[in-house]
Amino acid sequence: MKHESSLASAADANAAIRPSACPGLVRVVAARDGGICRLRLPGGVLRAPHARALAEAARAHASGVLELTNRANVQIRGVRAGEEAALSAALIAAGLGPDGIGAANSPAQACIADELRNVMQSPLAGLDPLAFDTTPLAAALIDMLRSEPRFAALSPKFALLLDGGERLAERAHPHDIWLAARGHDAAHADETRFALGLAGCPCDAPLGTLAARDIRATVRALLHAFLDIADNLVDNQADKHANVERMRDVPNREALLERARARAGFTLTPDEHGIDAKRSTSADAGSRLGAHALHANGSGYVGAQPALGRLDASTLHALAALAQAHGDGTLRVTPWQGLLLPNVPAQAMPGVLDALAALGLIHTRANPLARLVACAGSPGCAKSRADTKADAQRLAALLPRDEAAAQVHLSGCERSCAAAHRAPFTLLARAPQRYDLYAACTPASRDDDASGFGRLVATHLTIEAAAPLLARRPRSTTDV
């Protein structure tokens, strides 16, 4: 009871230390359908015992509904009023908080340690034999973020990306700092160089490359330089309430880079593999669903996703059992609001696929729901102008089974919470059951055009009117 009482004061402590509207392990944020508690999973890895504990906590203190996010995290929806502290305490006691965080830690410490884990990797990090294993490097970066008190000033949204060159990776999400392996040779891993970029993704031209062994010191220097410049900008601007929270807010990144070099003394060299690397930035969409071999003996992973990223506690329990029976006892949450069962033997793959289908999970891209993304919608969010998840289900029933069709994003408002980057097609709600249709010519950042979603194609569409436009299978979004 004492620990739950201390957690009950987390909201006040967190507001003073880290003002934010982002849900977290301790910071449970109110929504229309109850509170939201978000768990950051380093590498997206969720062990079977942790999955069971998460499912039980969601049942005991919330609605039992869980969501997989586009940052490869998990969140519990419908947290009941008055049970926020008990939920956080149960999750921490089960080992779902950052390593070393337990009942003796203050709510503020738990909150900060949890939020400083925004390091995204491929779901195949450490599994793909042809890629650089980024898992030790990610652990070192997370430890660095948590060990230096000054980094507590970073926004909970401040994010890093480590791309080891895996065959399955989300390389279009923008990050504050991104690093992507270039020309990796498994036999000479120590010689691997990483391209470095700021406020973007590996689809962008990098600033240069550096050796893998220099990444930790370089990222540390960049973070200190960012905080130095952010402090100066806030001190000197007329509006003292304006925030410099993300790398994109820094007006002169070259000055930031020079400040970082002065601190760490690193050298960036030209990216010799840049052209080839940019040609292969998009992973095959079909590789995140279904069974895929990684090794000569046919073993590998099986991928699936719950419809529109949501699953219930019973399904999570069943997935944990499946991972223990046929995999390595872990699940890997993906940035496509899905999950992988890694290290599945070849002979077990057909049975695993059947079990996933029996649970109602999608394991083929031909299913229209595999290509639809929707935010919480009006039942869960006061800002949403439509019930986007219900409308997405209606839209799926009207679309053909077509693996070549493009992704469609249904957004209840302009904030675009469900998609971290601009989708090929966006249906933006204007009112209940009424949408504007946008088409993006490229999968670029939402900051690249005035609307944030691309070119306006049609307005005031019903779902029934939008479906034929989206079913034409255009060769590009400009053909709609």
Domain boundaries of the chain, sorted by first residue = 2-99, 132-165+171-279, 285-364, 369-479
**Residues 453-462: what's their mean pLDDT?**
94
pLDDT at 478 exceeding the cut of 80: no
| 309's tokens | 């990223």
pLDDT at 308 exceeding the cut of 80: yes
Q: Specify the DSSP element, H or E, that contains 58.
A: helix 48-61
Q: Given strand 339-344, what is the order of strands in its sheet? A: 45-47, 330-333, 339-344, 300-304, 290-293
**Residues 142-170: what's their mean pLDDT?**
92
Among 26-30, 394-398, 451-455, whose mean pLDDT is lowest? Answer: 451-455
CATH architecture of structural domain 2-99: 2-Layer Sandwich (3.30)
Q: Specify the DSSP element, H or E, that contains 449.
A: none
**Residues 99-112: what's their mean pLDDT?**
65
Do the domains spanning 2-99 and 132-165+171-279 agree at the CATH topology level? no
pLDDT at 320 exceeding the cut of 50: yes
Q: How far is CA 111 from CA 8, 50, 97, 310, in A?
A: 13, 19, 9, 25
Query: For residues 254 and 382, what is the distance between their CA atoms, to the nearest angstrom?
Result: 41
Q: Which of 67-71, 282-286, 318-322 has the highest mean pLDDT?
A: 318-322
Query: For residues 247 and 342, what is the distance between their CA atoms, to the nearest angstrom?
Result: 34
- The amino acid that residue 432 corresponds to is P
pLDDT tens per residue across span 401-436: 887 788 999 999 999 988 888 899 999 999 999 999
Q: Which of 155-169, 189-203, 223-237 has the highest mean pLDDT?
A: 155-169
pLDDT at 243 exceeding the cut of 90: no
What is the topology classification, in CATH, of domain 369-479? Sulfite Reductase Hemoprotein; domain 1 (3.30.413)
pLDDT tens per residue across span 160-195: 999 999 999 988 889 999 999 987 666 566 789 999
pLDDT at 54 exceeding the cut of 90: yes
Q: Given strand 455-461, what is the order of strands in its sheet? A: 372-374, 408-411, 425-431, 434-439, 455-461
Start-to-end CA span in the chain (Å): 59
- The amino acid that residue 144 corresponds to is M
**Residues 325-342: what's their mean pLDDT?**
97
Global confidence as pTM: 0.88
Rounded to the nearest 5°, which phi and psi values hold at 46? -130, 110
**Residues 227-239: what's their mean pLDDT?**
75
| 478's tokens | 């400009």
pLDDT of 392 reads 98
**Confidence grade of residue 274 (pLDDT, cut at 50, 70, 90):** low
Instruction: Look at the chain and count its residues.
Output: 480
pLDDT of 173 reads 87
**Confidence grade of residue 15 (pLDDT, cut at 50, 70, 90):** very low
pLDDT at 400 exceeding the cut of 80: yes
Average pLDDT, the chain: 87
| 405's tokens | 């069709």
Right CATH for 132-165+171-279 from 3.30.450, 1.10.10, 3.30.413, 3.40.50: 3.30.413
pLDDT of 338 reads 96
Side-chain half-sphere exposure of 384, counting CA atoms within 13 A: 26
pLDDT of 164 reads 94
pLDDT of 402 reads 84
CATH class of the domain defined by 285-364: alpha beta
pLDDT of 131 reads 93
**Residues 309-315: what's their mean pLDDT?**
97
CB 158 within 8 A of CB 248: no
